[in-house]
Structure 1
Amino acid sequence: MGRGTNPAFPSLARGAGCDNLGLEAYNESLFSTFHFVSAPEVFMPEISAIRALRYNLGHVGNLSDVVAPSVDALRLEQRDILYKRHPAGCIRLIANREEPGDVRGSSDQRAAKFWRRWQTEGVLQHEAAPEVYIYQQTFADGDQSVSMRGILCGVRFDSPEDRRLYSASEMDDAIVQERFDLVRQCAANFSPVVGLCSDPGDRLQHLLDSAIQDGLEITCVDDAGVRHSMWPISDARTIGAIQEIVGPSPMLVAAGEDRVRASERYFSWLQEHEGPVASDHPANFVLTLIWRLEDSVDLLHSSHRVFGGGNPISSEDLVARIGECFTCNTIAEGPDAAEIAWTPISTSDHQGRLAIYCGTDRRWVLCEAKEAAIDRLRELCPEASDEWCELSVNLLHHLIISDLLQDATPTIQYRRTIEDLVTKLGGPEACSYAALVPPIDVDAMETIAVQEEQLPANTFHLAREPLTGLVFNPLNRR
């Protein structure tokens, strides 16, 4: 699917571009272009400036010492490192570790105490005015330095009938509840949702280029060497221009759907305990990083899977049970051969292919879906679209695991890298089997989301996560 061709993500090719225009002139052109063109039938992701809290650098010193990966990307060993790095690190907010004598909710209550104390002590300070933030990641791609630029802001989530936000991910209710418990204790969003909006005419890109020329850059570098930069924008006309550009394109949620759902629960909880919530109340909006859809090539990476809870399976048994639907070839042996098994998957954009590690004989089997596999999945899921049935992750979960292996309730652990997967498979804990699945691209995710279908939880993760701790979004009025 080409960018801008999906009817749910309409083209923004209205009005003139902004080459050789200064920011003020460009804003004027935007306002004159967009003033009367917003069609009432086009629902938009309503974005808002937020009255954020940011670290007082005079208090904490180096911003790089207090930020953290999003909680979704955080590894256990990273948490311990970040705890030691700085006493005011935001790790104590997003992943407060358990202490002796803790009961359910203790870590969230401890996080809330840090949150309130750091405001009282001036570690965190409120912005003087509502702002949006231009956000940029700069990273190495081979020998080149590449930058990706977007917007940190609030996005209204409370009108699902408007279809402002589209998502393709199934949600684990236990994870949503965990996120809600923290939001309720702290009345704040810490890690941003990540959304994609279309900008085929590059007008947003041009506007952001102009807006940062004379702005204050706030910057830090993460442990992977990615440079994160941010420019606060409080000018009402610039914010209005951003809203007009982003508005006509519904937002595709690429990461953080759990945080959207947690914010919805908090909104309902707030109404129940404090009465009606005004439409401009901060709790109507969730902290969101908006990337341009056009910049999202290679944005999504696979999450590898380790399955337990049942009897380990041998490669011979696997082939016998799935061979009618898949062409199977044993290609390698041992956990360390995961990279060998991954190569024919990662070097092709072909869906219907996956590699399964068998716990009994520690062999990797490359599996290629036959037409019989697609036909069988259509029978099992008659309401599903062809696009949904052809995806490897759905063939794995809904055909191989549930139907052919009859493994009704496996435990699943997710690993983001081959190295982490090898470590897990080589550890003392036995696994029944594991799977390497080809990454899904944004076009496919967009198609599934617009068709209101869903992919299994943790089908993918972002190649580069936004940092937590650059801005915090309080959900109460000052």
Structure 2
Amino acid sequence: MNPTTPPLIRPFAALRPLPEQAAAVAAPPYDVLSSKEARIRAAGKPYSFLHISKAEIDLPENIDPYAPEVYAKSAENLRRLIDDGILIRERKPCYYAYRLVMGEHAQTGLIVTASVAHYDNNRIRKHEFTRPEKEDDRVRQIEALNAQTGPALLAHPDSDEAERLLAEATSGAPIADLTADDGIRHTVWLIDDEATIARISAVINAMPVLYIADGHHRSAAASRIAESRRKAGNVASDAESEYFLAVVFPARQMRIFDYNRVVRDLNGHSLDSFLKAIGERCTVTPAQTAVKPEHVGEFGMYVAGRWYALAIRPELIPVQDPVRRLDVSVLSEQILGPVLGITDLRRDARIDFVGGIRGLGELEKRVDSGEMAVAFSMYPTQLDQLMSVADAGEVMPPKSTWFEPKLADGLASHVLD
């Protein structure tokens, strides 16, 4: 590596909970709970990181979650946990092994700080657009705290050596070990041995690319803050603000769930005309039970109390285009747009999205209640598809991926000083 080129990742001195307080601090990511849900989850839990990541829960219920008072409250709550000795700062830069266990599935990754420079030059690759208001929110949050408290989820190319080193690092006693109220177990080990840190750094920094799986707004906000601090001057090229908090997992260990679609009406169609229009683009097979697609190119559809299995006609799938051949793109181009009149998935209020973790019963519930008219179950986007899109410099349609299990907030934060 050129000595002037920053490393892809590096260790950092985390702000983390005392081992005996980890369960009291750990919280779901800020963006998977509404303010109302966060108030309920944090009730009676004064050390919950939701008081920092969703600080509006400690202010009047009608407060705008983007109001300046919210960010100020977040900083106040973080300082309280530090002053009370609940959160401690590591004495030197370290890595942290992080294992997630959800049912029979387990994945073990590495908590690091990742280079903003390599995010900017696309060595850390993106696959989706960010929304300005959400990016602005993360910028204000990070600036108020002078810390990054929510990690981005990254994937690294498969590496036996990287996995072997992490397996060795998880052989000792953890510094955090808890099972959250959703049943997911989170375990963190401190990696402070200099030789081990050097070996891990050498392996991952030699990788050609990393991929953002989840956390585009967090990483984009970090890039903006690094740029603004550079412009303000007196910032070293290796300053903490030149790196962002991330957890890097082997791609082959990660799991993507389906991200399903529900639509409020049939765009003026009767049921018969709707099924006829669908049949012009798909084979339509009535099903006796809920349809959970098992292969790329297959879809389930629930309408008028009945499930159907759909298979888009092969000649309609542009197999050479890494974005348009995705199932989420094919559904949009062949059904959502031409049949249901939905062409803007970001802004059209007639469509909503349901993470596969909720199950197909949630789709039936949304339609049977009369709230929605039709639901589509999807085959999960595959990680190699995500990588192909990122490698091509393209972006995926909105709501293409739903990663599970989710990282917890609060187990390691990155202070920018």
TM-score by shorter chain over 0.5 = yes
Name the CA distance, whole Å, in 1 between partners of 2:100 and 2:165: 17
Determine the structure 1 residue equivalent to 2:313: 370
| Residues 211 and 183 (structure 1), Cα distance of their counterparts in 2 relative to 1, 3 Å cut | same
| Residues 54 and 373 (structure 1), Cα distance of their counterparts in 2 relative to 1, 3 Å cut | same
Q: Does 1:415 align with 2:374?
A: no
Determine the structure 1 residue equivalent to 2:73: 110
State whether residues 195 and 252 of structure 1, in contact with CA within 8 Å, keep that contact through their aligned partners in structure 2: yes
Q: Choose the corresponding residue for 2:247, options 284, 289, 292.
A: 289
Gaps of 5+ in 1: 1-37, 333-339, 379-383
Name the CA distance, whole Å, in 1 between partners of 2:224 and 2:369: 38
Say which SS state the counterpart of residue 386 (structure 1) adopts. coil
Say which SS state the counterpart of residue 342 (structure 1) adopts. coil
Name the CA distance, whole Å, in 2 between partners of 1:173 and 1:317: 39
Q: 1:354 is matched by which residue type in structure 2?
A: F
Determine the structure 2 residue equivalent to 1:318: 274
Q: Choose the corresponding residue for 1:89, options 48, 51, 58.
A: 48
Say which SS state the counterpart of residue 252 (structure 2) adopts. helix
- Per-residue deviation at 1:130? 1.5
Q: 2:164 is matched by which residue type in structure 1?
A: H
Q: Does 1:164 align with 2:103?
A: no
Say which SS state the counterpart of residue 341 (structure 1) adopts. coil
Name the CA distance, whole Å, in 2 between partners of 1:242 and 1:402: 47
Name the CA distance, whole Å, in 2 between partners of 1:440 and 1:169: 13
Q: 1:414 is matched by which residue type in structure 2?
A: F
Say which SS state the counterpart of residue 407 (structure 1) adopts. coil
Determine the structure 2 residue equivalent to 1:135: 98
State whether residues 102 and 405 of structure 2, in contact with CA within 8 Å, keep that contact through their aligned partners in structure 1: no
Name the CA distance, whole Å, in 1 between partners of 2:243 and 2:34: 28
| Residues 221 and 434 (structure 1), Cα distance of their counterparts in 2 relative to 1, 3 Å cut | same
Name the CA distance, whole Å, in 2 between partners of 1:179 and 1:413: 24
- Per-residue deviation at 1:427? 4.6
Q: Does 1:234 align with 2:197?
A: no
Q: Choose the corresponding residue for 1:468, options 383, 406, 409.
A: 409
Root-mean-square deviation over aligned CA pairs: 2.8
Name the CA distance, whole Å, in 2 between partners of 1:45 and 1:270: 20
- Per-residue deviation at 1:363? 4.4
State whether residues 149 and 413 of structure 2, in contact with CA within 8 Å, keep that contact through their aligned partners in structure 1: yes
| Residues 315 and 50 (structure 1), Cα distance of their counterparts in 2 relative to 1, 3 Å cut | farther
Say which SS state the counterpart of residue 137 (structure 1) adopts. strand
Say which SS state the counterpart of residue 265 (structure 1) adopts. helix
Q: Does 1:68 align with 2:11?
A: no
Gaps of 5+ in 2: none
Report the more deviating stretch, 224-233 or 167-176: 167-176
State whether residues 172 and 189 of structure 2, in contact with CA within 8 Å, keep that contact through their aligned partners in structure 1: no
Deviations 1:82-120 (A, max 9, x none): 211411210122223452452442333322221223223
Say which SS state the counterpart of residue 55 (structure 2) adopts. coil
Determine the structure 2 residue equivalent to 1:328: 284
Determine the structure 2 residue equivalent to 1:356: 301
Name the CA distance, whole Å, in 1 between partners of 2:120 and 2:80: 39
State whether residues 44 and 164 of structure 1, in contact with CA within 8 Å, keep that contact through their aligned partners in structure 2: no
Q: Does 1:342 align with 2:291?
A: yes
- Normalised TM-score (structure 1): 0.76
State whether residues 26 and 48 of structure 2, in contact with CA within 8 Å, keep that contact through their aligned partners in structure 1: yes
Q: 1:261 is matched by which residue type in structure 2?
A: A
- Normalised TM-score (structure 2): 0.86
Determine the structure 1 residue equivalent to 2:204: 246
- Per-residue deviation at 1:148? 2.4
Name the CA distance, whole Å, in 2 between partners of 1:188 and 1:122: 17
Identity %, equivalent residues: 21
State whether residues 73 and 465 of structure 1, in contact with CA within 8 Å, keep that contact through their aligned partners in structure 2: no
Matched positions, count: 403
| Residues 161 and 217 (structure 1), Cα distance of their counterparts in 2 relative to 1, 3 Å cut | closer
